[in-house]
Each structure stands twice: as structure tokens, then as C-alpha cells.
């Protein structure tokens, strides 16, 4: 009587699982990279917005001082 193996007989099947795992790791790394870039972009946008607000506030103060 022949014993059945627990591993898949066709080696290409196990390769597909490995390939899927590698692809999942790749996508996970890409997602982490994009999240990092998005976070940096958000930080830069907030910094630019704060600088613009400062400049606009100064100009408004200068304009109101000239009117006095």
C-alpha cells in the first residue's frame, strides 16, 4: 500500500505559494514606502502652509499700518 505525501506532488504548486508570498512582501514594502512618502509630503505641506500664513499675516499687518 502506498502512503500519501502531505507535500504537494507538483512542485509548481509550492512555487506558486512562494511566489505569492514574495509578491505580498513586495506589496507590503511598497505600501510602507508610500505611507512614508505620504507622511513626508503631509509634513512639507503643513510647513508650507504655516510659512504662507506667516507671510500673509505680515502683509496684512503692513497694509493696516499704512492705512493708519
The predicted pLDDT at position 52 comes to 98
Are 14 and 8 in contact by the 8 Å Cβ rule? The answer is: yes
Tell me: pLDDT of 3 over 60.
no
For 8, phi then psi, to 5°, come to -65, 140
Question: pTM above the 0.85 mark?
Answer: no
Biggest alpha carbon–alpha carbon distance for the chain:
105
Q: Residues 17, 21, 27, 28: is their CA dihedral positive or negative? A: positive
pLDDT in tens, 10-67: 555 556 778 888 999 999 999 999 999 999 999 999 999 999 999 999 999 999 998 8
Nearest Cα to 25, choosing from 14, 17, 13?
17
Q: Where are the domains of the chain?
A: 38-68
Overall size of the chain counted in residues: 68
Amino acid at each position: 500500500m502506498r502512503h500519501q505525501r502531505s507535500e504537494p506532488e507538483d512542485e509548481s504548486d509550492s512555487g506558486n505559494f512562494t511566489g505569492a508570498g514574495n509578491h505580498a512582501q513586495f506589496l507590503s514594502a511598497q505600501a510602507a514606502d508610500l505611507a512614508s512618502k505620504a507622511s513626508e509630503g503631509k509634513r512639507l505641506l503643513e510647513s508650507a502652509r504655516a510659512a504662507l500664513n506667516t507671510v500673509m499675516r505680515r502683509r496684512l499687518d503692513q497694509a493696516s499700518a499704512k492705512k493708519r
